[in-house]
Copies of this chain bind each other. A is one copy, B any other.
Amino acid sequence: MTNKPDRLGDMPTEEFRRFGYQIIDQLADYFDEMERYPVLSQVEPDWLKNNLPASAPESGEDFGEILGDVDRLIMPAVTHWNHPNFHGLFSTSTSSVGVFGEMFAAAFDMKAMLWRTSPASTELEDVVLDWLRQMMALPAHFEGIIYDTASVSTMHAIAAARERAGLHIREQGMSGRDDLPLLRVYASQHVHSSIDKACITLGLGTRSLRKIECNERFEVIPEKLALAIEEDIAAGYRPICVIPTIGTTSTSSVDPVDAIADICEKYGIWLHVDTAYAGSTAIIPEFQHHFKGCERADSIVVNPHKWLFTPFDLSVLYCKDLSELKGAFSLVAEYLKTSDEQSVKNGMDYGIQLGRRFRALKLWFVIRYFGREGLIARLREHCRLARLFASWVEESSDWELMAPVPFALVCFRACPAGAGDLNALNEKIMNDINASGDAYLSHTKLNDNFAMRLSVGSIRVEERHLRKVWDHLNERLP
């Protein structure tokens, strides 16, 4: 062991090399043998906690021992998001080259606050986001910025919308004023909870979020939206932002962005499109129609960490005019002033976070390694598999679809004749499958009906994996 108490500095590089190889081997085996792990960790709450010492070690430990503990203690408590049978929430997964990107990013350990503290990160971000923009067929006026999560991207979009209202909220705030109308944000009744959280954070409160009724396909009804806005204006409120979703979390439904854009234009409201999940499919030519109207948005969020094989986290916010975001957030302290301020882009100017990880690198690796065609082929296959699964559901009298399948998420339930309480039955089937470790499904409620959600999105998923889930489901029918 070279980690002697009298030695300062980092681990000797010969040791870094040796353990580095060992970790690469361990991860290669992990990717190879993924399917022998239960998808959902099978440990009980507090198992890991109870197996760890209550205090930090006084002296340094050999890294070989620490690595052994990864196998012994961490692995059993891991839920395997990369497993091809992880169908819960949204199925996301990392590619190998995405991991390579994070290795470099961690080793460089750059904080891309200023251009000069990280030219590579700042400029590669611009370049790779422009590549993605072109792949998604978004107009050239969209400029992107990378945040950690869609929750944070969307919060920034709403903050910019709040600023555009011209009420001087950046400087004057909203407390201690009697001149502020109630500000309103509009979204589908099926909108993601991150919008509620953004409204809470921004001081708008949950009452500022007006949720609009959907049709039987779980899509916002534009007429209802227009009516709500008219009502609010009549009541003296101020609409600031409308957030349609392309690929809602519950059912992956598609709000009619083009019709909503008409309404936003009419009333001068910021249009923010949440396509964190489905946005990646805009690169597939035959899926482009879902994105009609996006070209008119003020901002769009899309998450390559969801469905573009890029490890978490990497969320992209595209803005029609990035300077509005800068206007809402830029603030340069003396210790951050540089002589090149006017001529370069400083990432810190576009949001609350000062330091920013070198996230563009992994996306650059992913796009280059797979190429546009390779990415399209993989997403297309996932959508094909989801439709295939949906066709099995449709063809069986014991099962029914609960929502359309525009992308690669299937909402369905068991409905065998004479089954009694369908909600209880479906919840039981899902819990049994999840407990088996063979697959992970999650659920939602649609018109008070319990619906299972099967998401297809792992880079490792094949038809046999869906067949396995289908067998599991049918075996559990009463």
**Complex alpha-carbon distance, A348 and B272, angstroms:** 23
Q: How large is the interface on A (under 10, 10 to 19, 20 to 34, 35 or more residues)?
A: 35 or more
Q: How far is the CB of A352 from chain B (nearest CB, A)?
A: 5
Residues of chain B contacted by A115 (CB below 8 angstroms): 45
Does the CB pair B66–A369 fall under 8 Å?
yes
A361 within 8 Å of B by Cβ?
A: yes
A77 within 8 Å of B by Cβ?
A: yes
**CB within 8 Å for A311 and B16 given contacts A176-B183, A181-B176:** no
A423 within 8 Å of B by Cβ?
A: no
Q: How far is the CB of A447 from chain B (nearest CB, A)?
A: 12
A287 within 8 Å of B by Cβ?
A: no
Residues 216-239 of A, flagged 1 when their CB comes within 8 A of B and 0 if not, give: 000000000000000000000110
Does the CB pair A194–B354 fall under 8 Å?
yes
Does the CB pair A169–B13 fall under 8 Å?
no
Q: Which of A117-125, A256-264, A395-403, A467-475 is the interface stretch?
A: A117-125
**Complex alpha-carbon distance, A340 and B435, angstroms:** 13
Residues of chain B contacted by A106 (CB below 8 angstroms): 94, 98-99, 101-103, 311, 362
Does the CB pair A202–B199 fall under 8 Å?
no
Q: How far is the CB of A456 from chain B (nearest CB, A)?
A: 13
Residues of chain B contacted by A57 (CB below 8 angstroms): 367-368, 371-372
Least CB separation from A200: chain B residue: B170
A421 within 8 Å of B by Cβ?
A: no
A419 within 8 Å of B by Cβ?
A: no
Residues 165-188 of A, flagged 1 when their CB comes within 8 A of B and 0 if not, give: 000111111111110111100000
Among B3, B20, B95, B120, contact of A10 (Cβ-Cβ < 8 Å): B95
Residues of chain B contacted by A477 (CB below 8 angstroms): none
A286 within 8 Å of B by Cβ?
A: no
Does the CB pair B94–A205 fall under 8 Å?
no
A108 within 8 Å of B by Cβ?
A: yes
Q: How far is the CB of A224 from chain B (nearest CB, A)?
A: 21
**Complex alpha-carbon distance, A194 and B354, angstroms:** 7
Q: Give the interface centre of A81, A162, A462 by most chain B CB atoms within 10 Å.
A: A81
Does the CB pair B173–A77 fall under 8 Å?
no
Among B48, B335, B362, contact of A249 (Cβ-Cβ < 8 Å): B335
Among B56, B88, B199, B361, contact of A173 (Cβ-Cβ < 8 Å): B199
Least CB separation from A208: chain B residue: B173
A159 within 8 Å of B by Cβ?
A: yes
**Complex alpha-carbon distance, A239 and B93, angstroms:** 46
A82 within 8 Å of B by Cβ?
A: yes
Given contacts A75-B120, A81-B108, A99-B107, 20 further A-B contacts (CB under 8 A): A10-B309, A23-B103, A27-B103, A56-B132, A56-B372, A57-B371, A58-B373, A63-B365, A78-B120, A81-B110, A102-B106, A151-B352, A174-B174, A197-B331, A200-B329, A200-B331, A201-B329, A305-B355, A313-B355, A334-B444
- 24 A-B pairs within 8 Å (CB atoms) are namely A5-B373, A10-B96, A14-B28, A20-B100, A31-B107, A46-B123, A49-B127, A52-B124, A54-B130, A56-B135, A77-B120, A89-B113, A93-B109, A98-B106, A110-B312, A148-B148, A173-B206, A175-B238, A177-B180, A196-B331, A200-B329, A250-B335, A335-B442, A335-B453
